[in-house]
Structure 1
């Protein structure tokens, strides 16, 4: 892959991740009842109240902020790696409430959250790899001169 191709791939993945974060965050912020209804089983949905709705809105605002920062930042290999590693707790959450001890609290749509978290983690690590390759290529060119 050439340097322009690497950079274009990184740009596209970064834009996709930023768009997904911002869009899903906006959904949580603007319409928490639908998020709760799709996300929690009827047993747990019955326990949801205005505080739960507030927490979903706060989560949405944070996700939108993350998406906006991701979409407007110049990411480095280190920052992409850190972002990818930061997905590990989310994957643990997916395990815990999807197939682990917390099973039954969330709906079967949990698989979509898992896929999204894998995309964010793997996409970030792939972008970091591409940027490292680009840096190594530039360093090799400098040494050759």
Structure 2
């Protein structure tokens, strides 16, 4: 097979679209996995992620962590069925991940409320940024639907 740059334009776009779709599914699975964990096992998440001084293990914390997980599951589900364009990847990669980086920095390293397990969340957020940039680069030459 010839390198992507030497393929005909339609084949290169088709190949780029296929790779972008796989990245989109990967991103959705990360949301579904981590969100599902928060939704279905909120106290496990609380025990592992929060330092003991900040754990309440109450119905209220289960509700709040579960709501966070439900939003992530919703987002992951939409990612599975949506048609991502270059702009979609860029928005998810940059605009959607930056507030989470601020959250991670503040509550992990400044307020020191979270354990090292919160680095799993940080890794997920980093993957969103990287997938967003790579997806945008793959699709930036594709014509967007109107």
Fold match by TM threshold 0.5: yes
Pick the aligned partner of 1:130 from 128, 135, 138.
138
Pick the aligned partner of 1:70 from 71, 79, 84.
79
Which runs of 5 or more structure 2 residues have no equivalent in the other structure? 5-11
Which runs of 5 or more structure 1 residues have no equivalent in the other structure? 137-145
Q: Cα RMSD between the aligned structures?
A: 1.5
TM-score (norm 2): 0.84
- 2-side partners of 1:29 and 1:112: how far apart? 16
Q: How does 1:1-145 map to 2 (within 5 A)?
A: 1=4, 2-45=12-55, 47-84=56-93, 85-100=95-110, 102-103=111-112, 105-135=113-143
- Equivalent residue number for residue 9 of structure 2: none
- Equivalent residue number for residue 142 of structure 1: none
- 2-side partners of 1:75 and 1:129: how far apart? 13
How many correspondences in the alignment?
133
Shift of 1:122: 1.6
TM-score (norm 1): 0.85
- 1-side partners of 2:108 and 2:65: how far apart? 19
